[in-house]
Amino acid sequence: MVVLDTAPHADQAALRGADLVLIPMRPSILDLDAMGGSLDLCGLARRPAVVILNAAPIRSRVMQKSADAVTKLGGNVLPLVIRERVALRRSLVDGRIAREFEPGGVAAAEVAALYMQTCRH
């Protein structure tokens, strides 16, 4: 598996070689506004895309509203959410990932679930 992290409005070169485009989206109007363009690019490149709700507040109903908005734009939303976890932030301080920082933690489990969902696509 190769992961390319590109800008939201990257050209189609990276898309053309992709088997799947994973689009992370925070629950914000700014990300939602950019989502339409990202989905359009994937459509033009004829590449499947899935949206992952990312950096979500721990206790908030905004995620369902965000997922519904993406669906209205024609996007496919993965059935899991990556929450805003302290472990994700703190692991970056010394270049580790969540699994290295807190192996049995919730953040590590969410990222592992994301990997499994991505592989299913």
More confident residue, 107 or 59: 107
Structural domain spans, the chain: 22-84, 85-121
Tell me, what's the pLDDT at 10? 65
| Bridge partners, 49 (sequence order) | 21
Give the global pTM.
Answer: 0.83
Contact 34, 9 (CB under 8 A): yes
Q: What is the pLDDT of residues 42-91, one digit of tens each?
A: 888 888 999 999 988 887 778 888 999 999 999 999 999 999 888 888 88
What phi, psi does 63 have (nearest 5°)?
Answer: -65, -40
Give the angle subtended at the CA of 22 by the CAs of 110 and 11, to the nearest 5°.
150
How many beta carbons lie within 10 A of that of residue 53, not counting itself? 23
